[in-house]
């Protein structure tokens, strides 16, 4: 046997991708939950991506060649999910609302990742007075309730409501202000830990610059948990966006479809037995948040060596017991 026999096989790109690698490592109920989360999240993303093709009408369309849409029409006919009090097609509003949600997630979470990772790397590596100031600011932001902080930022940016991109940016900045401390804390803690590792100290000894050490040696190792935090924050971003819209601080209905706003308008319908205007947007929020949460929680369990080892050991014991029972039966 040569030395090449003991050389570990290099994993392909598909095996190293966050979600796919977690599916390969998962077993039993954990795999089922992860697959359900992946399917729900994929449906949400595909609906947002192909919204112009899937939606029978525009998000603010109230008439067609046959005339004006009836208000609060029951599901059926050319309005499969009925219409709202304003004459909007519910199915179209739900489909276009997924596109609004994805846009807010991309704007908000990626801005939060950029700022949180940058500040966490700088604060954790250099320390000193800058680190103390940033930690105090992060703690101060944590002291405010999440939704209240988002409302304050939304009012400060656009007086509570605006057009599509104005509302998107307002919600994005509001959610970013809430999420930055989370990324900052995680990256700062990892940077402080990695700064004491031998490979970083070796780079400092040979005279590598701080920028090179942070970018080449610390960044890749400190950001391994970002896919997990992203999935959890994406679901929280949807809830925050829906809450802003429900309270009247979101996007105007003539500028974009938003699930929280539609739920707000459906409150008065519920007492009259008109259930479809609130059930479908609410179900869209629940299923989307459920899918993203299942993906995030499953990834969190699989990233924890103690939980992963316990689940695999349980699966092996169960498989062994099954084999023994078959042998006895034979």
| CA–CA distances in Å: residue 176 to residues 87, 199, 296 | 34, 33, 19
Quick check: is 7 in a domain? no
- Residue 267: its pLDDT value, please? 86
Q: How confident is the model at residue 163 (pLDDT cuts 50, 70, 90)?
A: low
Residue 17 tokens, joined: 């991708």
The pTM assigned to this predicted structure is: 0.77
Closest to 286 in 3D by CA, of 263, 311, 312, 265: 263
> From CA 170, how far away is CA 232, in angstroms rounded?
21
> From CA 190, how far away is CA 193, in angstroms rounded?
5
**Each residue's pLDDT tens digit, 253-308:** 777 888 988 898 888 888 788 888 889 999 999 999 999 888 887 777 666 555 55
Quick check: is 313 in a domain? yes
> From CA 242, how far away is CA 157, in angstroms rounded?
18
Quick check: is 153 in a domain? yes
Quick check: is 32 in a domain? yes
205 is in which domain, residue-wise? 14-321
Q: Helix axis angle, 28-49 relative to 305-329, nearest 10°?
A: 120
Quick check: is 327 in a domain? no
CA angle, 160 then 164 then 166, to 5°: 50
Compute φ and ψ for 224, nearest 5 degrees.
-70, -25
Quick check: is 3 in a domain? no
Quick check: is 326 in a domain? no
Quick check: is 164 in a domain? yes
Q: Outline where the chain has alpha helix (H).
A: 13-16, 18-25, 28-49, 51-54, 90-126, 128-143, 146-158, 164-195, 198-205, 210-212, 219-222, 226-246, 259-270, 276-303, 305-329
- Residue 45: its pLDDT value, please? 92
Give the total number of structural domains in the chain. Answer: 1
Which CATH number does the domain housing residue 141 bear? 1.10.3720.10
CB 88 within 8 A of CB 69: yes
CB 34 within 8 A of CB 292: no
**Each residue's pLDDT tens digit, 99-138:** 988 988 888 888 888 888 889 888 888 888 888 998 898 8
> From CA 181, how far away is CA 163, in angstroms rounded?
28
- Residue 42: its pLDDT value, please? 92
Other CB atoms closer than 10 Å to residue 205's CB: what's the count?
8
Flag the least confident range among 46-55, 72-81, 91-100, 242-251: 242-251
> From CA 251, how far away is CA 104, in angstroms rounded?
11
Average pLDDT, the chain: 78
């Amino acid at each position: 046997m040569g030395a090449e026999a003991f050389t570990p096989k290099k994993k392909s790109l598909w095996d190293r991708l966050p979600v796919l690698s977690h599916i390969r490592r998962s077993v039993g109920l954990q795999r089922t939950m992860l697959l359900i989360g992946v399917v729900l999240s994929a449906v949400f993303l595909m609906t947002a991506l192909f919204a112009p093709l899937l939606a029978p009408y525009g998000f603010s369309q109230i008439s067609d060649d046959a005339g004006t849409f009836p208000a609060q029409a029951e599901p059926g006919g050319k309005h499969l999910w009925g219409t709202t009090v304003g004459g909007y097609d519910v199915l179209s509003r739900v489909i276009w609302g997924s596109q609004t949600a994805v846009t807010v997630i991309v704007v908000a979470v990626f801005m939060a990742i950029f700022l949180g990772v940058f500040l966490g790397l700088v604060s954790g590596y250099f320390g000193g007075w800058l680190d103390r100031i940033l930690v105090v600011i992060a703690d101060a932001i944590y002291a405010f309730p999440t939704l209240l902080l988002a409302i304050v930022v939304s009012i400060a940016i656009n007086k509570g409501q605006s057009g599509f991109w104005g509302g998107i940016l307002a919600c994005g900045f509001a959610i970013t202000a809430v999420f930055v401390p989370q990324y900052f804390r995680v990256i700062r803690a990892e940077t402080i830990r990695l700064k004491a590792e031998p490979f970083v100290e070796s780079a400092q000894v040979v005279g590598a610059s701080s920028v090179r050490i942070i970018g080449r040696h610390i960044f890749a190792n400190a950001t391994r948990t970002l896919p997990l935090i992203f999935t959890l924050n994406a679901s929280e971003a949807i809830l925050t966006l829906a809450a802003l819209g429900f309270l009247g601080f979101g996007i105007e209905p003539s500028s974009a479809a938003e699930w929280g706003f539609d739920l707000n308008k459906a409150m008065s319908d519920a007492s009259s037995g008109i259930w479809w205007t609130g059930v479908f947007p609410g179900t869209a929020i629940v299923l989307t948040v459920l899918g993203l949460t299942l993906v995030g929680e499953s990834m969190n369990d699989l990233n924890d060596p103690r939980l992963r080892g316990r689940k695999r050991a349980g699966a092996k014991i169960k498989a062994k017991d099954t084999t023994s029972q078959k042998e006895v039966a034979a």
